[in-house]
Amino acid sequence: MSEQNAPGARGEDAEREPDGGARRAHVPHVLDPAGMREQYRAEGIEAEGFAAEPMDQFGRWFADAVAAGIFEPNAMVVSTADTRGRPSSRTVLLKQYAARGFVFYTNHTSRKGREIAENPHVALLFPWHPMARQVLVTGTAAHVDRAETAAYFHSRPHGSQLGAWASEQSRVVASREVLDEQYARLAARYPEGSEVPVPPHWGGYLVTPETVEFWQGRENRLHDRLRYRRTGGEQGAEPEWTLERLSP
């Protein structure tokens, strides 16, 4: 590594060429990810202080994230994969959590919806960076029942209800105008105050967890990782959980 692109080198060339260019030597050091490193907190986490059930522990950490003022603490990355194992990820909003698992809403014919139909195995990631925390979930996704979807759909703002009809999520659309026209047609048909039917292609997914990992950043990259693993409770029985420490 030359001195110029070493972390901490001064980015004078970048000042002479404000567009930065594509060459790494021209990246001012304040923008160079190689030089970006935070030292994480000293306090750790111990299995002794953790809840017996992972969803109860999630509730504690979710409350911490809300109390810490994290922006959109319910934003999570959902990863899916098709039957050939090719993965894809995107952010969605968690809309409910309870002992049974995590619920989010989307279009069933979107890319994620199509992949879940082929392969129900998913992963969730809550990236709570300002707290040096993340929660990682693996599990399987299934539709929530239509009554639950309908109750949530009608709790959404009117414009979001129309948006769910207007968008053929993940499909190529000719232009922004096509979308706006489609929305305007729907807005004329269902004015504010009228009941919008629940789109048949839209609904909730319940992610039933198989593993839930709680990750706490620590000093010197010796982070704490505590993972719940489902070890029993098949065929409708109450799940049993084993809590294990993973090496960082």
Ligand X SMILES: Cc1cc2nc3c(=O)[nH]c(=O)nc-3n(C[C@H](O)[C@H](O)[C@H](O)COP(=O)(O)O)c2cc1C
Residues annotated as catalytic (active site), given as ranges = 221
Question: Which of the residues 43 through 82 are near ligand X (CB under 6 A)?
Answer: 72, 75
Q: Letter for the amino acid at 68?
A: A
Residue 112 within binding range of ligand X, rule CB under 6 A: yes
Which CB sits closer to ligand X, 57 or 161? 161
| C-alpha span between 144 and 106 (Å, rounded) | 11
**Amino acid sitting at position 187:** A
88 binds ligand X (CB under 6 A): yes
67 close to 105: Cβ distance less than 8 angstroms: no
179 lies in the site for ligand X, by CB under 6 A = no
Residues 6+ apart with CB under 8 A from 43: none
Q: Return the range that interacts with ligand X (CB under 6 A); candidates 35-43, 105-113, 176-184, 186-194.
A: 105-113
The least distance separating ligand X from the CB of residue 218, rounded to whole angstroms, comes to 28
Our CB check for ligand X shows the closer of 73 and 217 to be: 73
Cβ neighbours for 4, distance < 8 A, ≥ 6 positions apart: 13, 25
Q: Among the candidate windows 13-21, 84-92, 178-186, 193-201, which touches ligand X by CB under 6 A?
A: 84-92
Q: Is 143 in the site for ligand X (CB under 6 A)?
A: no
Could you say whether residue 158 binds ligand X (CB under 6 A)? no
Answer yes or no whether residue 161 interacts with ligand X by CB under 6 A: no
Using a 10 angstrom Cβ sphere, with 0-12 exposed, 13-18 middle and 19 or more buried, the burial of residue 234 is: exposed
Q: Is 67 exposed, middle or buried (0-12, 13-18, 19+ CB in 10 A)?
A: exposed
Q: Note whether 155 binds ligand X by CB under 6 A.
A: no
Single out the residue of 68, 185, 213 nearest to residue 126, CA to CA. Answer: 213
> Does 91 engage in binding with ligand X (CB under 6 A)?
yes
Please pick, from the candidates 111, 121, 201, 229, the single residue that binds ligand X as defined by CB under 6 A.
111
Neighbours of 148 (CB within 10 A): 15
Q: Which residues contact ligand X (rule: CB under 6 A)?
A: 72, 75, 88, 90-93, 104-107, 110-112, 169-170
